[in-house]
Structure 1
């Protein structure tokens, strides 16, 4: 006999299920109506503001299992790929509210240290002096005991790095609390972003940010190992101040997001480094002016690779400690390969009895010209070919048998040359990619652009080897060096490390790390068979090789014929007759005046100060990619090196009065710097660099 109470319970349970099912159907119907409307509005907004994203949305093939589930709170949910677990809990609204509140109450910020300054006190160039003053002031703050740092996210902050869109519910909540000048949204899984189009009002987010003068950037479907490269492209266009002080928000902990965040913080130093600066820019401009006036032939990196070079071995020689283990290989194969000597590696090769086919140079200062004169007799250079870039000290070209240059990226002189070519009705030249910061970058860039595919890297170490050596025993940096007039000091290392080519790690510094990353980025776009020999830093895309693995080359060719073909890739630009008026000196001075006038405006709040800096930045960046873009490059690097710490300190402390006081002190330094740059530019725009070597043996 059936228990009546049990039967009643079953009936009630069935009734509850029915009601729940009806409620669920109603919620899903209401959600579907609103979701389809949101999708249409969002697609229309992306079509207007981000047409490439709109195209990707329209072309996206929805998976047959794609399904949004509506939870009891009316928020959508979705299955996580591969394991069918729900992305959110059964109450997404509560979960997201708690996550946003936690992020606001205990924010994660990027923070850069600006007190370190390793410049030689005898270096009296304008930029170096003002950077010393900047770091001295900031060090005094640290010594005195800084105010309490920000403990929660304020109502305005420079930058948001939002890692993960999911279904997007956290984004409007976060933006309702805090406005950002720059918002970067990273979502490796395009499916999730596509789903968010049904869930949140992207149209309102985009229009609100646009109307407030903010900037919104999307990185959708971007693989973790591609993220930093894509961010660098954006930052190059809008300035490193856009990312220097960032609030970092992680929406979910899936592997691609975790890896993206790890890569961002690992390579964050790249956004604060290598901006160029005033003295570099103006000497690069004047050197470019004098070099084209001399009729130096130039290489256009748009040219197709030369098929005749594909199988020809080329040995690119740096001056790292691994050069010593390559010595026999280089000596035995000097007639079976083209040899590039990078910078000071020339003296090491000469001690081996090897005359390179091309010397590679990239540095512009007078001190580097002095080093060239110091490293070898003039008669050596009269028998040697030089490959370099347009910014090299102009007197250098007179030393060599033959000289060929390419354009170096992000330079006032480079933009100046291309504008002058355009005025004559000629197409501009492309730069050799990733040709800095070190001369080994220039050497490999030339080799790969020209079309060489069989490459040996010797002594390209980018750091201190396992045995503690920083350079080859044959180098001018060696304690045994008695041949040169000047004393040469290796770059200081900063305790950071890179993976070793043959295992272990290599002690390094920011410059070497940047060089290594640039080598990897270059190889990623121009792959080849590249043997990386010895215990230096691992370079992705190369083949780690021990000296014992090396075999003598079995290649015979007419070396002089190949050298002639390399030289034939360079052409005269026909710019020998340029006059001083081509430099637009008067407009340059007007730009300085306008920046100074903005910087001198009174500010009374942190946001006022932030807006003032942003007006300066956007005014200067308006000159980028115009016929006056060389003016942009003259000022850009110095502005970045000063504005980045100014922005950081505006948004570093809980007490806004402290922040504003520090900003005003830094702003006085910045105004003085601008005024001295203007004065220097007025009197010395066409003067060659005068930064000298100081140390003598």
Structure 2
């Protein structure tokens, strides 16, 4: 007689890994539209109300499906491998892969051309070490993830977990009631315990919206095992909507899935800028304000998309009505060149091109009346253009971890300056945000920005091509109907907007742009808008007054923080170096040993000196580990073991140099503090 699982034990195992509302619904035995039918002898099934999910029963459907998959599994080749290690002609039309000896010098050159944010010294050393060897398709069967598109009754899941050496199981399905039915026949507790033993877990992505499901899958793949993303198994149980669209979106997000989480050189630069700003002139701090009971003016966020040129007359008119105008990045030039002076201007990046663009604007425009709202991490050269400054703490970077209290961090403020402009408005208590020139694409593939933006007003090919931006090759629904061409970078920005909109449902978003549709932002024609005579026509000063007076420089705070940073650096490096000196360290031991030492820098919010150290090194270490895993798993097993013994010594050498650089940078900054 078949033993059925304990439903209560299953629920207890699911409590820590399910959203509270979904768990509460599962625990409540209310009726559902579908029902569990059959039994262990005659076979289980789901009655959908007139028809069965499985024509001949769950087992009869699952057994051959799993056998066929295991004989020829669908595996996800990482973006790094497909776009960096391998060539297009190595992938045959019949799906076969042709091995070819690796050429380290050619790949190193390709590495620099693509500007990959990885530890370049380590990458070149690793490639040189395996130079001339032939990379195979997937000689190793282990993987970090198994993504199952379709739950049904879940009988396939134990079979797949038993057969495949995976760590994380990601279950994607539109129907929560299927999960409830499965509690009676799948031993979820045993599955959870086994994956926990392997260093993984179960991720549930349940819902009807394809974009939300794709984001949840992305979150799972970028979890603690995302270093092992190469070779992930993709199993499709059935093709019920919206699962095919989820699969399509996951495929499109390849580069986003593996986007580096910062890198050491940039973290050191951002920490330096944070300290320098704390030592400079007075500035106000942006923090989330409590809801206001009085009138709040609407905010118009101006970007530099192609459609901005057609709507600046409306922006000027609405600003006269009392709306607050916030320009985002190169949207400042668009506004100024159309005769609109923004009330606030947002910057988030710390690159030289930001300073160059602002410098060009000062030839024809006065920036002194515009208040800068920027990350503490921007270059002091950027903030120097604006006498009035408001700074905010970005989440996750080393400077914020070192200086900010948790409640001072402005989350969901990225990935781009346009996202920041909206998040800043929310922090100030704004209830209505109108987007202008936030196109995230274009009606025409070859038109990427406004004619009045710096991209099209300077005689520089780098700017004219969008400063190295991806081509607009992806079709997406338009905000005003039809099709708009977008890119992976813009898709990531759109995802950021949609997360922000869902998180702050008390704020109304109105999209006046003629670009990509943003879910949750109402498409609107600004021609009919009017704020004249409204109670919401308060002055911009009434919004900024909430932030209080500007704070003076605090040299002693900087001195204390930098000392704590160096002390944490020494403690952290002692642990890392001890691990890297272990004689028995293999690839899995290296990954599993280093991850806890950078985990808070990747996902948690440890707001202290140790959190700053982890944030400083997390991105580069993750990139080194991910490249190691990707390269070595495509080598024959013997070569993989040989190459593994090379990793720790070279990583120790490179990290030791970086630790010395971080320490010296901290001392140099301390020397700038007035006595």
Q: CA deviation at 1:522?
A: 1.5
Residue 681 (structure 1) aligns with: 662
- The answer to whether structure 1 residue 149 and structure 2 residue 137 are counterparts is yes
Say whether 1:197 aligns with 2:183: yes
The answer for unaligned runs of 5 or more in structure 2 is 85-106, 670-675
Whole-Å separation in 2 of the counterparts to 1:665 and 1:448? 50
**Matched residues in 1 for 2:375 and 2:549: separation?**
14
Tell me, in whole angstroms, the C-alpha distance in 2 between the residues paired with 1:160 and 1:129: 26
Please give the secondary structure, in 2, of the residue aligned with 1:429.
Answer: helix
For 1:18, the equivalent position in structure 2 comes to: none
> Is the Cα contact below 8 Å between 2:298 and 2:536 reproduced in 1?
no
Question: Quick check: 1:170 aligned with 2:151?
Answer: no
Which 10-residue stretch deviates more, 463-472 or 173-182?
463-472
CA displacement at 1:675 relative to structure 2: 3.0
Partner Cα distance (1:595, 1:271) in 2: 27
CA contact (8 A) 2:270 2:398 kept: yes
- Cα distance change, pair 374–559 in 1 and its aligned pair in 2 (3 A): farther
Q: Structure 1 residue 38 and structure 2 residue 6: aligned?
A: yes
Matched residue, 1:299: 286
What does 1:140-289 align with in structure 2 at a 5 Å threshold? 146-150=134-138, 154=141, 156-220=142-206, 223-233=209-219, 238=224, 240-241=226-227, 243=229, 245-273=231-259, 275-289=261-275
CA 1:210 to 1:472, structure 2 compared with 1: closer, same or farther past 3 Å? closer
* Aligned equivalent of 2:56: 89
Corresponding residue for residue 637 of structure 1: 619
Cα contact 2:273–2:377 (8 A) shared by 1 = yes
Within the alignment, does 1:437 sit opposite 2:437 as a pair?
A: no
Superposition pairs of residues 518-667 of structure 1, within 5 angstroms:
518-527=496-505, 528-545=507-524, 549=527, 554-555=532-533, 561-569=539-547, 576=554, 577-583=556-562, 584-599=565-580, 601-602=582-583, 608-621=586-599, 624-626=604-606, 627=608, 628-652=610-634, 655-660=636-641
After superposition, the Cα gap between the structure-2 partners of 1:127 and 1:63, relative to the gap in structure 1 and judged at 3 Å, is closer
Q: In 2, distance between residues paired with 1:220 and 1:349? A: 43
Instruction: Please give the per-residue CA displacement for 1:68-111, whole angstroms capped at 9, x wherever unaligned.
Output: 3026xx36412242442143624x44543322222222111222
Aligned 8 A contact 2:174 2:208 in 1 = yes
Query: Cα gap change, 1:509/1:278 in structure 2, threshold over 3 Å: closer, same or farther?
Result: farther
Match of 1:490 in 2: 466
State the superposition RMSD in angstroms: 4.0
**Distance in 1 (alpha carbons) for counterparts of 2:109 and 2:433:** 37
Which of 361, 371, 375 does residue 375 from structure 1 map onto? 361
Q: TM-score, normalised by structure 2?
A: 0.81
Count of residue pairs brought into register by the alignment: 631
Displacement after TM superposition at 1:394 (Å): 3.4
Range that drifts further, 50-59 or 397-406? 50-59
1:592-612 deviation line (CA, Å, top 9, x unaligned)? 4533443454568xxx41232
The match for 2:314 among 329, 352, 358 is 329
Between the aligned partners of 1:46 and 1:348, the Cα distance in structure 2 is: 51
Cα distance change of structure 1 residues 501 and 561 upon mapping to structure 2, 3 Å threshold = closer
Q: CA deviation at 1:274?
A: 5.2
Alpha-carbon distance, 1:676 to partner: 3.2
Aligned-partner SS, 2:410: coil
Q: Secondary structure at the match of 2:202?
A: strand
Query: Which residue of 73, 77, 96 corresponds with 1:111?
Result: 77
- Which is higher, the Rg of structure 1 or of structure 2? 1
Instruction: Find the aligned partners of 1:239 and 1:112 in 2 and give their Cα distance.
Output: 14
Distance 1:171 1:456, change over 3 A: closer
- Tell me, in whole angstroms, the C-alpha distance in 2 between the residues paired with 1:652 and 1:123: 22
Q: Distance in 2 between matches of 1:472 and 1:369?
A: 19
User: How far apart, in 2, do the equivalents of 1:550 and 1:236 lie?
Assistant: 43
Residues 540-589 of structure 1: CA distance to partner in whole angstroms, max 9, x if unpaired? 22233567x45565356797733233242356678823143423213224
Residues 1:174 and 1:650: Cα distance change in structure 2 (over 3 Å): farther
SS in 2 for 1:436: coil
Contact 1:281-1:411 at 8 Å conserved across structures: yes
Q: Structure 1 pair 575/61, CA: closer, same or farther in 2 (3 Å)? A: farther
Deviations 1:285-318 (A, max 9, x none): 23223334445321222x23435455x3422111
| Counterparts of 1:51 and 1:459, CA distance in 2 | 36
Deviation sequence 1:660-695 (CA, Å, 0-9, x none): 45666676764454233223212114768xxxxxxx
Q: Counterpart of 1:510?
A: 488
Whether the 8 Å CA contact 1:77–1:88 is kept in 2: the answer is no
- 1:46 deviation in Å? 4.5
Q: How does 1:57-136 map to 2 (within 5 A)?
A: 57-63=26-32, 66-70=35-39, 74=41, 76-87=43-54, 89-90=56-57, 92-114=58-80, 130-131=119-120, 134=123
| Alpha-carbon shift at residue 165 of structure 1 (Å) | 3.1
